[in-house]
Structure 1
C-alpha cells in the first residue's frame, strides 16, 4: 500500500492510462494517505489528467525510448512531475525531489535516476519543448476534440478550452424547503465560508473555495446539496406541477430528481437508471433530503415492463453523453473518450428518446439534457428525432445561452456554470 502522496497519485493516474475511471480509482487512492495529504493527491490527479494532452507529448520528447507497459506507474509519476513544474506553485527543486523520492514507494528505485534526469531536462528545455507542440496539445485537448470544438464553436472554442482547463467552482443548491438562499448565504457567512449567489438558478450558491461537505451548515439535515448551476436549471425547465406523474429516466446520482421534489413535493416521481449500483446514490440522496420517490432499475431505451403501461406528464432525460461540457470536473474524459464514441453515443441518445416517447402522455413535455457541447449529440439528435416522430413538437426554452436550431446551449464558463444542452419537446394531443 502506497503512503507517499505522489506515489498514490501516480498509481491512480496509471489506472486511468490503462482505461480506468478516475471516479472509481480515486477513493481507494485517498484511503492510502493521511487526511492532510488528500487535497494534494486530488490536485495531482485532476491536474495531471487535465493537462495530459500537453504533458504527454513533452514527455515523449524527453524520453530516449518509450517506457514499457508494466511501468505505467513511472510514466504517470513523470507526468505528475511535469504537471507540478508547469502548473503549480511548488518550488522546482521541491517538486523534483519529491517526485524522485516517490520511486521508492513504488518499489522502483531503478527509476530514480530516470525521473531526476527527465524532470531536470524539462527545466532546461521547456521553451523548446512547447514550440514543438501542436495547437491542440498547447490547448491541452486531444486532437479530435480540439477539431470538433473549432468546427462547432469557431468563435468560442478558445474560451471553452480555457474553461475546461480550470478547476471548477464548488456550487451548492439551497433546499428552499428549509429556507431561502439569502438566509443560507448568511449562515455560510457566519461559518466563515465565503460565497455568492448564482446568476441563473435561484437556488445556486458559489463557494469562493471548495470545502468538505461536512463543514457545510445543515448539510446532513438536507439544507443544501452540491450541484452545478447549469444542472440546477433542468428541474426549473421541466416545470413539474403538483399531482403530475414525472419520470427521471437517467436519474443517478439523483441530483435532478431530488431538486424536482424540493421544488414540488406533491409530484409522483419515478427515478430510473440502468446502473443498479449507482441507484444507491439516488436512494442515499433521497434519504438525506427526506424525499420520496419510486426508485427503479431500467434501460431508458427499452423501458421495463412496470413502465410500459404507464403515462407520465413530464419526462426528464439526462442522456449519457461525451461529457465534453464538464471536462473540468472529469478530466479523464480527455484520455478515455475517442472520436468514434460520439456517433455511438448519438445513436444511443436517439434510442433513448424513441424508447421513452410512448410513455409520455399527449400534451406532456420531455426535457432532453446532455452535458455535452457537441452538436452531434445535441441539436442533431433532436432534429433526427423530430423528423422521425410525427407527434413531437419543439418548445422554446426560456434560458439565456447560445441559441441552437433545436435547443439552448450553455457553454462552460470560467468561474461559472458547466456546459449543458437543453431541448424541450411536447407530445401533440
Structure 2
C-alpha cells in the first residue's frame, strides 16, 4: 500500500517514527532486562536448592556416622572388659556401617589403646589426648556435655585431617561421675568433602564454618572467609550438640547460554514492535482523526480531572442548586514511598487508595484522581457538618487501615483531607477547590 502525506503529516510521521523507535528500544531492553532477571532468578533458585541439598547431606552424614560411636559407647559403659576382649570383631561390625569413617578408636583414661583398622592408624596407638591441647579440649567438651561432641576438622597424629565424633564413656550411668575414657569415630575430611558435594556446585563458591571451640570467631573449615563476607545465602547446619554454617556466593551469569536463549526476548519484542509499527502506520490517518482525549486516569482507573471538572461545573450550573460536599484528599509522604520503595510501589499504593476510596463512598458519589497523589471526591446531598466529619473519618479509617504489602514490608497510607460544603451560594468551581485545598494543607501542617 502506498501512503501519501502532506508536509505536516510527513513531519508528524517523522517525529512519531523517532519516538516509536526510541520507545521500542527502551521497551525491548526493559523486556530483555526482565527476561534476564528471570533467568538469573531461576539460576539462583537452582543454586539455592543445590546448597540446601548439600546441607541435608552434611547433616545426614554427620548424624549417621556419630550413631556408630553412640552404640559402642553404650556397650563400653556397661561392659568395658568384654568390649576390649572382643574389640576387633565389634569394631569391624560397626566400621561396616560407616561410609567414610577412617578409623574407630578407644581411649581408656584418654590414651588411645585400641584402633580399628590398625593399618594406616598404628601411629595413633599410645597417643595421649592430653598432650594435644586442640584435641584434649574436644574431650573435655564431650565430658562436659556428657554426650557426643563433633569436632571441627583437626590434624590427625597419623596424618591428614579428620572430623572426630567423641563420646565420653561413664561406668556409672546415669550419674555419669565415673569417667572411664572416650570412644571416637574419625571421619576422613577429604572423603567427607567429596561425599557431600561441597566441590560439585557449579556457578557458586562454597564455604563452611565450624562451631565455636574457643573465644575466637568461628573457624572457616572449608572455602574462604570472603565467601561469608559476600554470601548470597547462609544456612545453619544442625550437628549433634552444635551447629555449623554453610555459605554460598553465586556467580550468576547468562553469558554461558546459547545466543538465541540469551536474546529471545529481544527478538520477540522487536518482531512485535515491527508489527505494531506497521499497524499504526496503516491506521495513521484514522488515529489522528478519531483520537479523543481520555477521561479516565490510566493508573487507577478513576475519572481524571477533565471528567471531574465537567461534573462539578454541571452541579454548579444547575437551575436548582444541588448541595454537596467536596473533599480534597492528598497522600502524605508519597515522595518518601517513591524514594524508598521505588515508583512501582508508589503506583501500587495509588491503586490501593483508589480502590479503598471507591469502596468507602456511595455508588452515586464521585471520586477522581486529579494529580500525582491528589484525589477529589463529591459527596452528593451530604452537607450536615457532623455527618461530613463522620464520613471523612470513615474514609480515613478505611484507607489508612489497609496497608500495601510490598516485598515483605507494609506501607501504611496517611491522608490529609480538606472539605468544602456547598449549599447553593454563588461561588465558582475554582473557588470551591481553593477552599478545600487550603483546609487540606492546614490539616497537612498539623499532622506532619
Q: Give the TM-score, by structure 2 length.
A: 0.18
Q: Which has the higher strand share?
A: 2
Q: Give the TM-score, by structure 1 length.
A: 0.19
